[in-house]
Structure 1
């Protein structure tokens, strides 16, 4: 039992260190409360050096596509919309990001889902991962773990580490029609 608890805590800390704010919030909601209550009853303490390390490669990858680094100043939204409507996957992803953040337009996660789906259908792994997060958390869409797993799998197949980790979480918990499989989860982490 202690080994399972230690593995679960290791997974949680590893995921927290590798995921962005949205993924962190999802993990907090679904994993931290049960782990925290188990740890409160245990006198053991678990600390890793990952907590003090500089940002990981996967964190930097996500940060590259953040609003702060998209363009300075705020992008020309009409031009961005025109590119997105013309089928430019990067513009579709960026427009979805603006809708999610409510920057330069009203906050609208449902619109973000529309644009991210268009980009994801063209193979944009950032959009695939982002759709997975929204379906996993139920933001902008009805919560659907099966749909989340589908998008995480697509992004994972392109080597997107955050998507691999979220897929691992789903295998760990047996969500989205995936069997509960600790070995598969460990491979993905």
Structure 2
């Protein structure tokens, strides 16, 4: 481990704190270099800011790049975010089948929002064959007993 690692950790912590307190310009300045160096947490937050034009001009390509990198690295929230991009056709061409695949990965990590969205997709037959039983199973897993 290099001697400058504590500085990088501090920048990440400061960048996340700035992001969470909605100081997006500051967050972009702190997180952008870390995202370029491969920090998954920085990439996820940069994706959100690039997607929504927070602290920077909206950049769909950058948002997609960072969200996909963080999702492929295994960050559940990024997997959910990438799935949503595919579901809505935001920052990338709409692709319900890819949305389902990424929602499944996020759901496997216990993200209730992903389970719920996946259940809805099975209920409506969006990106998958309509399957009311699978929808009910997923809703139950997400904590909805009465569906």
The answer, yes or no, to whether TM exceeds 0.5 is yes
Compute the TM-score of the two structures, normalised by the length of structure 2.
0.76
* Secondary structure, aligned partner of 1:183: helix
| More relative contact order, 1 or 2 (CA 8 Å, 6+ apart) | 1
Query: Structure 1 residue 69: deviation in Å?
Result: 6.0
**Counterparts in 2 of 1:156-175, with a 5 A limit?**
156-175=107-126
CA offsets 1:39-73 (integer angstroms, 9 cap, x no match): xxxxxxxxxxxxxxxxxxxxxxxxxxxx9962453
Distance of 1:159 and 1:120 partners within structure 2: 15
> Are the aligned partners of 2:28 and 2:55 in contact in 1 as well (CA < 8 Å)?
yes
1:136 pairs with 2:122: no
Change (3 A) 1:179 1:115: same
Equivalences, count? 123
* Structure 2 counterpart of 1:183: 133
- SS for the counterpart of 1:95 is helix
Q: Could you tell me whether the CA contact under 8 Å between 2:31 and 2:42 is conserved in 1?
A: yes
Rounded Cα–Cα distance in structure 2 between residues aligned with 1:77 and 1:179: 41
Question: 1:84 and 1:101 mapped to 2: Cα distance?
Answer: 17
TM-score for both structures, normalised by structure 1? 0.60
Could you tell me which residue of structure 2 aligns to residue 116 of structure 1?
A: 67
Structure 1, 179-188 or 146-155: larger mean CA deviation? 179-188
Hey, which bits of structure 1, 4+ residues long, moved more than 4 A?
none
Matched, 1:104 2:65: no
Could you tell me which runs of 5 or more consecutive residues in structure 2 were left unpaired when the two chains were aligned. Answer: 1-16, 140-147
Aligned counterpart in structure 2 of residue 70 of structure 1, from 12, 17, 20:
20
Alignment equivalent of 1:86, drawn from 37, 44, 54: 37
TM alignment of 1:28-67, pairs within 5 A: none
